[in-house]
A and B are shown apart, each in its own frame.
Chain A
Amino acid sequence: MSTILPLTLKDVAVRRRGKRLLGPVDLTLDPDGLTMIIGPNGSGKTTLLRVMHGVERLSTGTATWAVPEEEARHRQSYVFQTPIMLRRTVADNLGYPLRLLNAPRAQVNARVRHWAERIGLADRLSLQATRLSGGEKQKLALARALIRKPDVLFLDEPCANLDGASTRDIESILQTALSEKTRIIMTTHDLGQARRLASDAVFMLHGVVHERGPASRFFGAAQTAELQAFFRGDIIA
């Protein structure tokens, strides 16, 4: 099956109640790697991610995949900053995306077991997901997103508020997903994590792409004064 990428954003802007939240943005995402979107609060990172995922209404511009939009929507997943748990068991949460596709019960069960073992929740499949810890919930949300084997995975600050061990577990799952050719696009405030994972990076400021480049150049030789200031930890106006 051919990949749904590249994704091309052309002159994309999002305005709500007269306020510009994003844009204009022109951006193309190639089929491989992990794109890290960084920037200060309110810079448009999450809006950009939602635009790419197709859940944010565009005021202007277009977002185009290599395949029809309906097909592209089915071949991507999204993990939210605050994990959303269905009021069901761990097993039912994991299997939910597959059941939406009417996958055979045996296949659902096999994949649920596989992913539960991978995230260390195999012994808690019958526990209510809402009773898991924050780190466990996020791992479950990530596994639920990956269980459909998406071409593209979007993550909105998946490790915010998590401790080091949980962050390491999630990064390990992401590395494995990358090695299995899942395209990942994520936002983060953690520059260490950005350096560890990114193959290329985007710096958002005031709703526009301020700087973009491959990770080695982006983190090693920032071109703009604003990105350099951001790396130093300065407050950017």
Chain B
Amino acid sequence: MNDIYEGLVSAFWLVVTLDQDLMQISLRSLQVSLSALVIASVLALPLGTFLAIRRFRYRRLTISLLNALMGLPPVVVGLIVYILLSRSGPFGVFGLLFTPTAMIIAQVIIITPLIASITHQAMRELWAEYHDLLISLNTSNWQRIKTLIWDGRRNLLTASLAGFGRAIGEVGAIMIVGGNIDNATRVLTTAIALETGKGDFALALALGFVLIALAIGINICIHWLSRTEREGRW
């Protein structure tokens, strides 16, 4: 209990004094996770919607695979990305290992199936509702996808937020591909792991509370901006 109390106090002072290290680590966490979220959403939202509206051979297998990939172990993803980006790997020439870009790549791989799968579930219901109308209006596949994404945007926001939650709390993969380098690739989760290893539980907890506050804050901001749970044109 004492550690938790000390963690809360430390977190309070770190935030109030605008601790430079904390700000840097927090901003990097946000930068990596939000970048991964945007890229993953651009890939996953149309993919999930396409799977909802289009019938093709191996569609069920594809959906099963996508659902299975939701549980992809981050450490394994990190290891594979590490091998691909290491000097001797096929993409070693780009020199991306131990950079925030490598962390973004790993997070995109982890959260894309999650967002696509939730999107597919949401879009399947909306497609059942819209199917006859959109077929009757002789819409193209692309017009259907655009219509479903626009009209189902609130559900898709939930899918994206689930992806963000997974990304910002992820530690295994980004520890491997980022290396937890101070002033370069250290983010909140890897810093927590480091401080815990050093036995500084108060600081680790303080960082943990900041991480939770960030995640909640981002969620509230997005809900507020998008007017979720409120009537309106959006």
Contact = CB atoms under 8 A, between A and B. Distances in A.
Contacts of A106: none
Contact of B138 (A73, A86, A89): A73
A31 interface: no
A100 B137 contact: yes
Given A84-B130, A86-B151, A88-B151, A77 B233 contact: no
A97 B143 CA distance: 11
- If over half of B's interface residues share one DSSP class (helix, strand or loop), that class is named, otherwise mixed; here it is helix
Nearest to A80: B132
Contact of B136 (A53, A88, A128): A53
- If over half of A's interface residues share one DSSP class (helix, strand or loop), that class is named, otherwise mixed; here it is mixed
Interface size class, chain A: 10 to 19
Interface string B98-142: 000000000000000000000000000010011011011111000
B147 interface: yes
B231 A128 contact: yes
A212 to B, nearest CB: 25
Interface in B128-181: 129-130, 132-133, 135-139, 143, 147, 151-152
Nearest to B153: A87
A145 to B, nearest CB: 9
A126 B137 contact: no
Interface in A110-128: 126, 128
A125 B151 CA distance: 17
A150 to B, nearest CB: 11
Contacts of A221: none
Max chain B CB contacts within 10 Å: which of A88, A100, A128? A100
Contacts of A89: 233
Contacts of B152: 87
B137 A97 contact: yes
Nearest to A74: B138
B233 A55 contact: no
B112 to A, nearest CB: 26
A89 B129 CA distance: 17
A100 B139 contact: yes
A14 B208 CA distance: 63
A135 to B, nearest CB: 19
A84 B129 contact: yes
A218 interface: no
A203 interface: no
A149 to B, nearest CB: 14
A32 to B, nearest CB: 23
Given A89-B233, A100-B143, A128-B231, A78 B151 contact: no
B151 A87 contact: yes
Nearest to B150: A88
A84 B143 contact: no
Nearest to A84: B133
A48 to B, nearest CB: 15
B138 A80 contact: no
22 contacts: A53-B136, A55-B132, A55-B135, A78-B136, A80-B132, A80-B133, A84-B129, A84-B130, A84-B132, A86-B130, A86-B133, A86-B147, A86-B151, A87-B126, A87-B151, A89-B233, A96-B137, A100-B137, A100-B139, A100-B143, A126-B233, A128-B231
Of all A-B residue pairs in the complex, the 8 with the closest CB atoms, nearest first, are: A84-B133, A78-B136, A87-B151, A73-B138, A55-B135, A86-B151, A97-B137, A100-B143
